[in-house]
C-alpha cells in the first residue's frame, strides 16, 4: 500500500517539526495494520527565506522517526516554494486479506482511543505565543509518538476496524467509520481524553480554522444528550499525528487495554458501536 502526507510547521524547532511530520505521515500505514518499509521525503522549501541548516534539521528529524519505525529512506523530492511544508510518501506491506479498514466496525464493538486530543488547539496557541512550556512539551511528546505499538496490538487483538484521528477530528473520523459500516457510533464525552491545557485554551478562543470547519460540517450529524457546542469543540479539533480510533469486540477490547497497560501504552475506551439508529454519531 502507498500513502503520502505533508504538513506545515506546528512548532518553531525544525528538528522537532521533522519528527512530527514523519510520525504523522507513517500513521496512515499503521492505521491499516500494515508495516511501513520504505519512504521518500517530500519537501517544499522557501530557499530565499530560510537557510539550508533549517532544511538539514528538518530532514534529520524525519530520519530519526523513520529509524525508530524501521523504515528505509530511499529518496525524495524538493521543490522551492513560498511556504515551508514537509512530509513523506510511504510504502507499507500487508496481506490484502488482513487489512484493517475504517468501514468494518460491528454493533457491540467497543471504541478505544490511543492518544488524547488537542494538537490543533495547542498548535494555534503556540503560534499565538499563548501556550506554556509544559503544554507544548506534552503536545510534542504525543505528536512524535509512533502508533506502531498500538497498531501491532490491535492486529493481535483482532480489531474489527480502525482509523487514525487526523484532520477531520474525532467526530469526523468517527462519522466516516459509522457511515462506512452502516452503524451508529456512541461517544461518551466524559471519557474522551484531552491534552493538558486544551480546555482552557479552547475557552480562550485559541481554535484553528479547521476546528470551526469541522464543527460546521459535522455538527448536524450528532444526536444525543450533549449539545453544548463549546464542550464539543475539542472533538472537532483537527489532529496532527493523532492517535488511532479502534473498534474491537468487547472481550478483545478488554484484552487490548490490559496488554496496553502492561506495555505502558495509552488506551481509553470512549464509546461503543450500535445498530444504526438513523444517525451516525451520538454524544452523551
Three-class HEC string of the chain: CEEEEEECCCCCCHHHHHHHHHHHHHHHHHCCCCEEEEEEEEEEECCCCCCHHHHHHHHHHHHHHHHHHCCEEEEEEEEECCCCEEEEEEEEECCHHHCCCCCCCCCCCEEEECCCECHHHHHHHHHCCCCCHHHHHHHHHHHCCCCHHHHHHHHHCCCCEEEECCCCHHHHHHHHHHHHHCEEEEECHHHCCECCCHHHHHHCCCCCHHHHHHHHHHHHHEECCCCCHHHHHHHHCCCCCCCEEEEECHHHHHHHHHHHHHHCCCCEEEEEEEECCCCCEEEC
CATH of 2-98, one of 3.30.1330.10, 2.40.110.10, 3.20.20.80, 2.30.30.100: 3.30.1330.10
pLDDT recorded at residue 11:
94
Computed over every residue of the chain, the mean pLDDT equals 96
**Residue ranges of domains in the chain:** 2-98, 110-283
pLDDT higher than threshold 90 for residue 86: yes
pLDDT higher than threshold 80 for residue 242: yes
pLDDT digits (tens, 9 = 90+) for 1-36: 999 999 999 999 999 999 999 999 999 999 999 999
76: β partners: 41
Please give the grid coordinates belonging to residue 164. Answer: 487514525
The CATH homologous superfamily to which domain 110-283 belongs is: PurM-like C-terminal domain (3.90.650.10)
pTM of the model: 0.95
Kindly state the average pLDDT of the residues 126-137: 96
Kindly state the average pLDDT of the residues 90-111: 97
pLDDT recorded at residue 102:
97
Torsion-angle region of residue 194: left (phi > 0), alpha (psi -120 to 50) or beta? beta
Phi then psi for residue 282, to 5 deg, are: -120, 135
Question: Can you give the C-alpha Rg of the chain in angstroms?
Answer: 18
pLDDT recorded at residue 227:
62
pLDDT digits (tens, 9 = 90+) for 33-65: 999 999 999 999 999 899 999 999 999 999 999
Kindly state the average pLDDT of the residues 191-218: 96
* Interatomic CA distance for residues 21 and 234, integer angstroms: 21
Kindly state the average pLDDT of the residues 109-132: 97
User: C-alpha distances in angstroms, 221 versus 189, 215, 264?
Assistant: 16, 10, 35
Kindly state the average pLDDT of the residues 238-265: 97
Kindly state the average pLDDT of the residues 118-127: 97
Kindly state the average pLDDT of the residues 190-194: 97
Using 50, 70 and 90 to split pLDDT, how confident is the model at 258? very high
pLDDT recorded at residue 230:
85
Q: Decide whether 2-98 matches 110-283 in CATH topology.
A: no
Strands ordered across the beta sheet of 244-248 = 161-164, 244-248, 110-113, 268-275, 183-187, 281-283, 222-223
pLDDT higher than threshold 90 for residue 277: no
Amino acid at each position: 500500500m502507498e500513502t503520502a502526507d505533508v504538513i506545515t510547521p506546528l512548532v518553531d524547532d525544525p528538528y522537532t517539526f521533522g519528527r512530527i511530520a514523519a510520525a504523522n505521515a507513517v500513521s496512515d500505514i499503521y492505521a491499516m495494520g500494515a508495516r511501513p518499509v520504505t519512504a521518500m521525503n517530500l519537501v517544499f522549501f522557501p530557499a530565499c527565506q530560510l537557510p539550508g541548516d533549517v532544511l538539514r534539521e528538518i530532514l534529520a528529524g524525519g530520519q530519526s522517526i523513520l529509524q525508530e519505525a524501521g523504515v528505509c529512506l530511499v529518496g525524495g523530492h524538493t521543490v522551492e516554494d513560498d511556504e515551508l511544508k514537509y512530509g513523506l510518501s510511504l510504502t507499507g506491506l500487508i496481506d490484502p486479506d488482513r487489512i484493517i479498514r475504517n468501514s468494518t466496525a460491528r454493533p457491540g464493538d467497543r471504541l478505544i482511543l490511543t492518544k488524547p486530543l488537542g494538537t490543533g488547539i495547542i498548535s494555534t496557541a503556540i503560534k499565538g505565543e499563548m501556550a506554556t512550556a509544559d503544554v507544548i512539551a506534552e503536545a510534542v511528546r504525543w505528536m512524535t509518538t509512533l502508533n506502531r505499538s498500538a497498531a501491532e496490538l490491535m492486529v493481535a487483538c483482532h480489531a474489527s476496524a480502525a482509523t487514525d484521528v487526523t484532520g477531520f477530528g474525532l467526530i469526523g473520523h468517527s462519522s466516516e467509520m459509522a457511515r462506512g459500516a452502516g452503524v451508529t457510533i456512541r461517544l461518551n464525552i466524559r471519557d474522551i481524553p484531552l491534552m493538558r491545557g486544551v480546555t482552557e485554551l479552547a475557552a480562550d478562543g485559541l481554535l484553528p480554522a479547521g476546528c470551526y470547519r469541522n464543527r460546521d460540517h459535522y455538527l448536524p450529524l450528532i444526536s444525543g444528550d450533549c449539545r453544548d457546542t463549546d464542550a464539543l469543540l475539542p472533538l472537532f479539533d483537527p489532529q496532527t499525528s493523532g492517535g488511532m480510533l479502534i473498534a474491537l469486540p468487547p472481550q478483545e477490547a478488554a484484552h487490548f487495554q490490559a496488554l496496553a497497560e502492561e506495555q505502558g501504552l495509552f488506551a481509553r475506551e470512549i464509546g461503543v458501536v450500535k445498530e444504526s439508529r438513523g444517525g451516525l454519531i451520538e454524544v452523551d
